[in-house]
Structure 1
Amino acid sequence: MMKNLLVITVLVLSLTSFQVKAQQCCPTSKSQTIMEASINQQTTNTVKFKIDGITCAGCSNAIYNALKEVEGVVEHSVEYPGDIAIIKFENSKTNIETLKKIIEKKGYKVEKVIETTQNES
């Protein structure tokens, strides 16, 4: 029994060591670094919508899932209760009107509350 425990411990330590070495051997390529830098320099907007018609968590999930599919949405949350959606998006890929229409297409009335713009670096 003690021998089996020793063998298992050695195997676990060996695999852990192998995984650490495997992660270290793959440096980030120059093109990947340039691409990440250009993504990080995108201008993002954050909009806060007041949404009428949310009656349950299922409604907020439906809106959340619809926004998740939109190209350019970086982060988003839909609060119930509270009936608020906060959406951070890349303004080069989508806009407030598009986001509003997506929520309205689900059957809700949308009112813009606050909008902010940030240059990401």
Structure 2
Amino acid sequence: MRLLLFLLIPAFILAGCSSKTDSKESSTEVSLAKENLTQVNLDVKGMTCEGCENTIIAGIKKLEGIQEATASHTAEEAVIVYDSTLITVEAISSAIADVGYSVEGKKQNPQH
């Protein structure tokens, strides 16, 4: 019994220490990405329903560097917040075209 306790106590201590290190690294990565966030509003043609909105959002969220994505078929617009060091508006527009919709205009705003 003592041997079991002797082995389990160090295992719990090590497990607790490693999880604290990971959370510090994650928060650093998030704060670095926030400095490069940009919002773009894209005029998207061809959406007719919420299913279209979901298709566009799913296509965009697969891309690296996407923070947030919304789409509205009534406004014919997709609003994307992304890390400008990881992806371009052209790549986002291409992803929208790949799922069957066309981008016909944009308005870009830094998120700082």
Paired residues, number: 94
Match of 2:71 among 75, 78, 92: 78
Runs (4 or more) in structure 1 with deviation over 2 Å come to 26-32
TM score, norm. by length of structure 2: 0.72
Residue 45 to residue 112, structure 1, CA distance change in 2 (3 Å): farther
Q: Which runs of 5+ in 1 are unaligned?
A: 1-25
Q: Distance in 2 between matches of 1:104 and 1:61?
A: 14
Residue in structure 1 matched with residue 28 of structure 2 by the alignment: 37
**Identity over aligned residues, as a percent?**
22
**Correspondences of 1:1-121 after superposition (within 5 Å):** 29-30=20-21, 32-42=23-33, 43-119=36-112
Q: Which runs of 5+ in 2 are unaligned?
A: 1-15
Deviations 1:41-69 (A, max 9, x none): 22111100011111222211111111121
Structure possessing the higher radius of gyration over alpha carbons: 1
TM score, norm. by length of structure 1: 0.67
The secondary structure found in structure 2 opposite 1:41 is: helix
Is the 1:47–1:112 Cα contact (8 Å) retained in structure 2? Answer: no
Q: Distance in 2 between matches of 1:57 and 1:34?
A: 37
The alignment's C-alpha RMSD in Å is: 2.0
